[in-house]
Each structure stands twice: as C-alpha cells, then as structure tokens.
C-alpha cells in the first residue's frame, strides 16, 4: 500500500501559510453547486461558519486562538474535510461498493449503488460522510477531491483557488518529502509531525501545523487502518461477511465515545480562553 500510495494524488495543507480566508470553502460550494446554510453569528470559535460539516458543506475552515499565559501567541486555522484514507473504513464498510478508493487517490461515491445504510458514516474515524436526511432519496455526501476535475487535468477547486499557497496539490510521496523539508528548515514553526502520513494507515490529505491538531477537535485516531481490524476479523471468520460492517460499527461506537469526550474537553478549553 505505502509503495503505491506514494504515487497517489494528495494535497499538503500547511496551516502556517493559511490565512483563513475561506476561498477554498466557497470554491468547493461553487464547484459542487452546494446550497448555503442558514447561519447566525458564528458556528464555532473565531469566524467559523457553519458549525460543522454537513451534506452541503464538504470542507470547513476552523479557527483557534493559541493563548499562553493570557497572551495571544497565534491565530491558527485548520481545513477540515475527507482525508481520502489509503485504506478507507468507509469503503470497507460499504457492502455494495458505493464507495470506492480510486487508484489515483480520491475516495469517490457512486450514488446509484448506494442503499442508504449509512455504515460508511458510522465507520469513518473522522466523522466525514453526511446524509441528506431532508431528501426523499437521501444520498451520502462528502468531498470526492473533485474527481471530475482531476480527470480533466484540473486541480480540486479548493487547491486551485487558495491564494496563499497553503494548499499544495501533487503526488503524495513528493509532498511528504516536501513536508519533511519544511519542518526540517523551520523546526520552530511546526509541530514535528506530518498529519496523514501514518494516521489510520495514511491518508491522501497531509497537514503540517504550528499547533497539535487536537486543538481543532481533531482526535488522535492511531496509525492502524480501521479496515485492518475487520480484515483480521474476516481471516478468522471468513464466512461472516456481514460481520465486517458490524465490526466497523462497533469501532464507530468506540470512536464516537472518544469523540464525545474530546468534544467535551474541547469545549472547556474554549471557555477557559
């Protein structure tokens, strides 16, 4: 997987270059023709709006004021979206192959195959896929890395529009090298970690950051690919196909619980600021 993954398409999001302008967020809605949500004031810290990802918001800039001893140290941003995992839990969880990990990297969705079971939603360690509850025939919605644009040789809408160079789209292997180099050259600027290099077995979105991503409520998901749990399980009990989904579901509960805890912690943190 690692070998082949190096050739996959990916982006490197460097939040020390991000200006939190949200051109990416708007470009995403524009390309996908997604409706605006009704918001009031702000949905999260700083200028965050809407409050969270939804069936009409596939990417979201989150804001965080880094305060030390009552002094503002920095104002930092994080771009939330589907990570396009190398071994996506959502793909494993889907019984009808409505979700597919393409060899190019993007994890895409075939709506005609989807039966609306929402196993993908509950399996995703990052809580990404969303369901159109309000529709008669609801579909799963999430970022597909603008697969249609990639096929035409274009960059994803967000990467294309980013004015500051915070998003760099390219080949995963090369981007990891570049991320390493950026951290090496400016060790004071970054947390010494390339998010997405190893998380859940690696993802096709990479992020380097000046603060730990936990500050944005991104939880530590470990480095083991979620489907590998079910694979081990499958090898042991090969006939119990359904079990895979069930297992992923179980994982979800564990993950959700952790998230709830993290969220609660996060809330106190914001208050304390």
| Interface positions with ligand SF4 (CB under 6 A) | 18-24, 61, 77, 79, 82-85, 88-90, 107, 124, 126, 128-129, 142, 161-162, 164, 166-167
User: Residue 194, class by beta-carbon neighbours within 10 Å (0-12 exposed, 13-18 middle, 19+ buried)?
Assistant: buried
181 binds another protein (CB under 8 A): no
Query: Least distance from C-beta 240 to another protein, angstroms?
Result: 45
The answer to whether 248 and 233 are in contact (CB under 8 A) is no
| Cα gap 61→53, rounded to integer Å | 10
| Cα gap 264→160, rounded to integer Å | 35
72 binds another protein (CB under 8 A): yes
Query: Least distance from C-beta 89 to another protein, angstroms?
Result: 30
Per-residue binder mask for another protein (CB under 8 A), 148-177, x = binder: ---------------xxx------------
Per-residue binder mask for another protein (CB under 8 A), 28-67, x = binder: -xx----xxxxxxxx---xx-xx--------------x-x
C-beta of 70 vs 223, nearer to ligand SF4: 223
User: Phi/psi of residue 246, each to 5°?
Assistant: -60, -40
Please choose which of another protein, ligand SF4, none residue 84 contacts, taking the beta carbon within 5 to 8 angstroms, the exact cut-off set by kind.
ligand SF4
Largest pairwise CA distance in the chain: 59
Please state at what angle helix 226-236 crosses helix 241-272, rounded to 10 degrees: 150
Query: Least distance from C-beta 268 to ligand SF4, angstroms?
Result: 26
Closest listed residue to residue 102, CA positions, set 116, 82, 118, 119 = 82
- Judged by CB under 8 A, the chain residues 3 through 22 that form the site for another protein are 16-17, 19-22
One of 4, 51, 75, 96 touching another protein (CB under 8 A): 75
Please choose which of another protein, ligand SF4, none residue 245 contacts, taking the beta carbon within 5 to 8 angstroms, the exact cut-off set by kind.
none
Closest listed residue to residue 120, CA positions, set 93, 100, 101 = 93
CB contact set of 62 (below 8 Å; sequence gap of 6+): 44, 45, 46, 48, 77, 78, 79, 80, 216, 217
Which positions touch another protein (CB under 8 A)?
16-17, 19-23, 25-26, 29-30, 35-42, 46-47, 49-50, 65, 67, 70, 72, 74-77, 163-165, 273
């Amino acid at each position: 997987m690692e070998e082949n993954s190096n050739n996959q398409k990916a982006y490197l999001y460097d939040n020390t270059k991000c200006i939190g302008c949200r051109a990416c967020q708007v470009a995403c809605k524009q390309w996908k023709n997604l409706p605006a949500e009704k918001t009031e004031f702000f949905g999260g810290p700083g200028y965050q709006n809407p409050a969270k990802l939804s069936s009409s918001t596939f990417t979201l800039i989150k804001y965080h004021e880094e305060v030390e001893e009552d002094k503002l140290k920095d104002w930092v941003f994080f771009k939330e979206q589907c990570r396009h995992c190398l071994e996506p839990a959502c793909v494993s969880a889907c019984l009808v192959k409505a979700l597919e990990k393409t060899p190019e990297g993007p994890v895409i969705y075939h709506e005609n195959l989807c039966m609306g079971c929402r196993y993908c939603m509950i399996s995703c360690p990052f809580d990404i896929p969303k369901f159109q509850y309000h529709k008669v025939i609801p579909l799963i919605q999430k970022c597909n890395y603008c697969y249609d644009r990639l096929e035409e040789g274009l960059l994803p809408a967000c990467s294309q529009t980013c004015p500051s160079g915070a998003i760099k789209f390219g080949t995963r292997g090369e981007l990891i090298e570049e991320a390493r180099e950026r951290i090496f050259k400016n060790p004071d600027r970054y947390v010494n970690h390339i998010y997405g290099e190893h998380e859940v077995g690696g993802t096709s979105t990479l992020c380097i950051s000046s603060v730990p991503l936990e500050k944005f409520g991104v939880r530590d998901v470990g480095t083991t690919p979620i489907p590998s749990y079910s694979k081990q399980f499958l090898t042991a009990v090969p006939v119990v196909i359904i079990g895979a989904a069930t297992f992923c579901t179980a994982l979800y509960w564990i993950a959700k619980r952790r998230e709830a805890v993290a969220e609660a912690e996060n809330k106190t943190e914001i208050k304390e600021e």
